[in-house]
């Protein structure tokens, strides 16, 4: 059975770059963020527009408008997550079902893995980390990012130190590409030959 490795990390830690390293090494990766963006252009759009009028145009969610509508309200954020998370989970189920017995290892790239209980669906968890100063510099270099937005996002995420204590593996991205790549290769070597647990998939997700 495919060994499912959960991949997570706080904003600015280098999670997406680490996911790309797995892809380059031939490991299938399910990207929860990319799935959300695809859903915003598809079947999630009418549901979100109904819940948050004015956030979708011509069947496509305007992410800036949606962010403005929910970022400062925990209640509205939970309402959005109640719409989106089940749809993402369906896509994840389909991904894993297609891979069953075909790939020795698959990665679930989920930003809020611990916060949403996603670690229970994984055989092990990898946390991507970096020093707080490196994280801050990376995030504030992004277009349109401010200190206020950065801290609002951090407030929704489990602290890095707490994630690290719950991880089976760590990748520190502060030492450059070659170091991160070596860490990923070491993890894959550790997982070689380790079977994942048997999973029972909901037929409606086929």
Q: Which residues are part of a known binding site for ATP?
A: 12-17
Of residues 2, 28, 6, 3, the one with CA closest to residue 108: 6
Backbone angles phi, psi at 111, to 5 degrees: -55, -45
Q: How far apart are CA 171 and CA 119, in angstroms?
A: 17
Q: How far is CA 141 from CA 113, 134, 137, 150, 152, in A?
A: 25, 11, 6, 11, 16
CB 85 within 8 A of CB 48: no
Cβ atoms of residues 169 and 189 within 8 Å: no
Confirm if 19 and 29 have CB atoms less than 8 A apart.
yes
- Residues with Cβ within 8 Å of 81's Cβ and at least 6 positions away in sequence, in order, are 116
Q: Which residues are annotated as a binding site?
A: 12-17
CA–CA dist 199, 32 (Å, integer): 19
């Amino acid at each position: 059975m495919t060994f499912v490795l959960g991949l997570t990390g706080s904003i600015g830690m280098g999670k997406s770059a680490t996911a790309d390293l797995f892809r380059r090494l031939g490991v299938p990766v399910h990207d929860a963020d990319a799935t959300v963006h695809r859903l915003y252009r598809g079947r999630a759009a009418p549901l979100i527009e109904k819940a948050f009028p004015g956030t979708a145009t011509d069947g496509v969610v305007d992410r800036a408008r949606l962010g403005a509508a929910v970022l400062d309200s925990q209640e509205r954020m939970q309402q959005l997550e109640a719409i989106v998370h089940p749809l993402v989970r369906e896509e994840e189920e389909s991904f894993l079902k297609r891979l069953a017995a075909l790939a020795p290892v698959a990665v679930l790239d989920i930003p809020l893995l611990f916060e949403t209980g996603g670690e229970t669906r994984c055989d092990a968890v990898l946390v991507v980390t970096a020093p707080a100063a490196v994280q801050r510099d990376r995030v504030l270099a992004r277009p349109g990012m401010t200190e206020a937005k950065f801290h609002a996002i951090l407030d929704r995420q489990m602290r890095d130190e707490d994630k690290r204590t719950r991880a089976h593996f760590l990748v520190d991205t502060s030492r450059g590409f070659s170091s991160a790549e070596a860490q990923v290769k070491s993890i894959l070597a550790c997982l070689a030959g380790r079977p994942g647990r048997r999973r029972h998939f909901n037929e409606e997700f086929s």
